[in-house]
Structure 1
Amino acid sequence: MRIVVHGQQAFGKAVLEKLLERGENVVAVCCAPTKEGKPEDPLAELAREKGLPLHQPASWKTPEALELMKSFDADVCMMAYVLLFVPEEVRDAPRYGTFQYHPSLCPEHRGPSSINWPIAMGKTRTGLTIFWPDDGLDEGPIMLQKTCEIGPDETIGDVYFNKLFPMGVDAMIEGLELVKAGVILKHDQRLDDGSYESWFKKANAVVDWSQPVDQVYNIIRAGNPAPGASTTFKGEELGIFDSEKIDGANDGQPGEIVAIDDNGVVVQANGGQIRMKRVRPAGDKKKVPAAEWAQATGLSTGVTLGN
């Protein structure tokens, strides 16, 4: 079967690696153009290393892009993490069309921050969807889905890299096997019956210490490592990353620092406390242990964050 791999970054590279390990016939690799001054995409690097035809059009909305996809004479296109919009006529150029990976249980959490939002909402399960995209935003018939748990202390980094990434690579291969077998599952269920969620931005990850401690902890986990939750200290932003929830402890007012030790800085929330273990001070690109930050700033208990 003649396969086009369309994707980018580490996930696209991992899917291509898996296909090549299996001896699949990859006839073309497509990814976004390399930006000036930026390193080349890992998928593009691997394609060049393996001597595969690499194409990086700036847009797929042109007649030239359609002719390019047709020229591959492909049976199927596998979309592994694609940010550029690809119109229907291009997606349908391969004999069996195009299928795509999305890291949520669609139609829930359609959109670009589909891993952050379930954590921020305190959900205990999420998953991934392999689907046949249409011209909507993360819409189209579902081929298959996989689920996984969200542990009570897991961050977006934990859920993605330890679960949704490896599961997703395997699910893309499973989707290919379904296409090969002629089991092309275009279910009646579609992905357009859920609300589209925009980016989980820094503004969504600002901590309100007066909120229930579970909600505060969920926001911090959903932003770790990106975009990073934050509060303020002396009027400047303080990024919050690794943390720990302490249920039931009420030793101060919301936002008040109630303890400082070698393990971090403990801040009061509503109905419990958060131990900040790693932070990023304003103007600093590096994340540092919270205990180190406290010592450097002469921090003491009784100080209130978030004012």
Structure 2
Amino acid sequence: MRLIVMGQQAFGKDVLAKLLDTGTDEVVAVYCEPDKEGKPVDPIKEFALEKGLPVEQPANFNDQETLDTLKGFNADLMVMAFVNVFVPEAARDTPTHGSICFHPSLLPLHRGPSAVNWPIIMGSTKSGYSWFYPSDGLDEGDSLMQWECPIEEDDTVIDLYFKKIYPSAVDSVLEVVDHYRNGNPPRIVANEDEATYERRCTAKHAKIDWNKPVKQVYDLIRGTNPAPGAWTTFNDAKLGIFDCKRVPGDGISGRIRDVTDEGFAVQCIGGRILVQRVRPDGEGKAAASEWAANVGLKAGDTIGE
């Protein structure tokens, strides 16, 4: 089959590499976002050029010339891996079999740009990914295939995405293309009654309220680790909170209960968070015990607002 691969960053590059490694199909072009001034060349673009593949970087697909260029590749299928640019129907339907798109959630759950963060923040026990038939709606459309995995109680974004979803998703692109090659791509109809939409998870959503139940606080921290990064304040300065674990204990919420070589424990409702890695404002990440020693943190101090 003649394929167009559309994507960006490491995931797009690895999907492209997986397709090229098999040698079964011909990648006729690679599409990625336009270069950004002062930013490194996108890995998928760099890799595609190394392989001698045509690279197109339209800012949008609104003009006829861009659509004509796309049509000129005479592709059978467009594989959309990690795409932030809106791709209208006229472009999606240009290949013979149209387009198929990747999303890191069990659609129609968690439509939107932070689909890995929100299931963890919300305390979900499972997630996964979908390859779906894209429409003009945000991550809307029936799915071709889905893959499910558990969210363990201590999983962070790194664990869920990079250790579970990412490697399986890269491998799965071969199965996706096989469905089209065999002429039988399945269709899992989306139950719109179950659909959820979440906005991009930003620093605004990652502020810690230590007066919440300990599980909610813990889920927020691990669901924003490593990005956008949960945060709190100490002596009016912002403090990023990263690696941590739940420990038992009672007391007044927002108070430091213990400072040890392992880190410092903050009281929440029904338990404590033992913070092990922090990032002081304007600095790099550091061991929580090191930061605590530098600022003279002690049991009884108040953290956050």
Amino acid at match of 2:90: E
Q: Deviations over 1:73-119 (max 9, x none)?
A: 00000000000000001000000000010000010100001010000
In the alignment, is the contact (CA less than 8 A) between 1:257 and 1:302 conserved in 2? Answer: yes
TM-score using structure 2 length: 0.97
Q: What is the alpha-carbon distance in structure 1 between the residues aligned to residue 169 and residue 260 of structure 2?
A: 40
The answer as to 2:167 corresponding to 1:169 is no
Q: What is the alpha-carbon distance in structure 2 between the residues aligned to residue 277 and residue 153 of structure 1?
A: 14
Amino acid at match of 1:265: F
- The size of the alignment, in residue pairs, is 304
Match of 1:207 in 2: 208
Match of 1:14 in 2: 14
Q: What is the alpha-carbon distance in structure 1 between the residues aligned to residue 31 and residue 211 of structure 2?
A: 48
Q: Structure 1 202/127 Cα, relative in aligned 2: closer, same or farther at 3 Å?
A: same
TM-score using structure 1 length: 0.96
Amino acid at match of 1:264: G
Q: What is the alpha-carbon distance in structure 1 between the residues aligned to residue 130 and residue 100 of structure 2?
A: 10
Describe the SS at the equivalent of 1:202. Answer: coil
Runs of 4 or more off by more than 4 Å in structure 1? 190-193
Match of 2:150 in 1: 149
Match of 2:96 in 1: 95
Q: What is the alpha-carbon distance in structure 1 between the residues aligned to residue 237 and residue 66 of structure 2?
A: 47
Match of 1:259 in 2: 258
In the alignment, is the contact (CA less than 8 A) between 1:74 and 1:95 conserved in 2? Answer: yes
Q: What is the alpha-carbon distance in structure 2 between the residues aligned to residue 192 and residue 20 of structure 1?
A: 39
Q: How does 1:1-307 map to 2 (within 5 A)?
A: 1-23=1-23, 24-189=25-190, 194-246=195-247, 248-250=248-250, 252-284=251-283, 286-307=284-305
In the alignment, is the contact (CA less than 8 A) between 1:128 and 1:146 conserved in 2? Answer: yes
RMSD value, Cα: 1.2
**Displacement of 1:205:** 1.2
Q: What is the alpha-carbon distance in structure 1 between the residues aligned to residue 289 and residue 189 of structure 2?
A: 54
Describe the SS at the equivalent of 1:110. Answer: coil
* Worse overlay, 56-65 or 1-10: 56-65
**Displacement of 1:282:** 1.6
**Displacement of 1:195:** 2.8
**Displacement of 1:192:** 8.4
In the alignment, is the contact (CA less than 8 A) between 2:107 and 2:190 conserved in 1? Answer: no
Amino acid at match of 2:285: K
Gaps of 5+ in 2: none
